[in-house]
């Protein structure tokens, strides 16, 4: 919830609290933004990601899942998973 200027490094950081899926309250800190607007945009995106509830439709869950694994997997592995999900499930 706070966007703070770090005077030592001359960068911006974000400190925000969120509630995880178990109901536990946690703090997230992200540092190193060059502009305040970048820090605020990251905070907004993080809040939207955290505010998704567990009562979502399966299709919405699949979209969140695919976006999450897209950066972690190699291209062909991702395409294979996406194909299986879209055609078989």
Residue with tokens 């907004």: 44
13 Cβ contact list (under 8 Å, min separation 6): 3, 4, 6, 29, 30, 31, 32, 33, 39
Residues 28 and 60 in one domain: no
Say whether both 72 and 86 belong to one domain: yes
Q: Are residues 21 and 8 in the same domain?
A: yes
- Structural domain of residue 28, as residue ranges? 1-51
Whether 39 contacts 3, CB under 8 Å: yes
Q: What is the pLDDT of residue 58?
A: 85
Q: Give the pLDDT of residue 54.
A: 64
Across 1-89, the runs of DSSP E, i.e. the strands, are 2-6, 11-19, 25-33
Residue-level pLDDT at 82: 93
| pLDDT tens per residue, range 10-61 | 999 999 998 887 788 999 999 999 999 999 999 988 887 887 666 778 888 8
Q: Residue 2: name the closest of 15, 20, 12 by CA.
A: 15
Nearest to 39, CA basis, from 84, 2, 72: 2
One domain for residues 12 and 40: yes
**Which residues neighbour 62 within 8 Å (Cβ) at sequence distance 6 or greater?**
85, 89
Residue 77 has pLDDT above 90, yes or no: yes
């Amino acid at each position: 919830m706070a966007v703070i200027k770090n005077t030592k490094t001359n960068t911006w950081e974000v400190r925000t609290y969120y509630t995880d899926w178990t109901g536990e309250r946690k703090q997230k800190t992200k540092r190193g933004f060059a502009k305040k607007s970048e820090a605020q945009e990251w905070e907004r995106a993080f809040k939207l990601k955290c505010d998704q509830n567990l009562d979502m439709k399966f299709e919405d869950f699949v979209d969140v899942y695919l976006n999450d694994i897209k950066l972690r997997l190699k291209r062909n592995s991702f395409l294979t998973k996406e194909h299986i999900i879209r055609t078989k499930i």
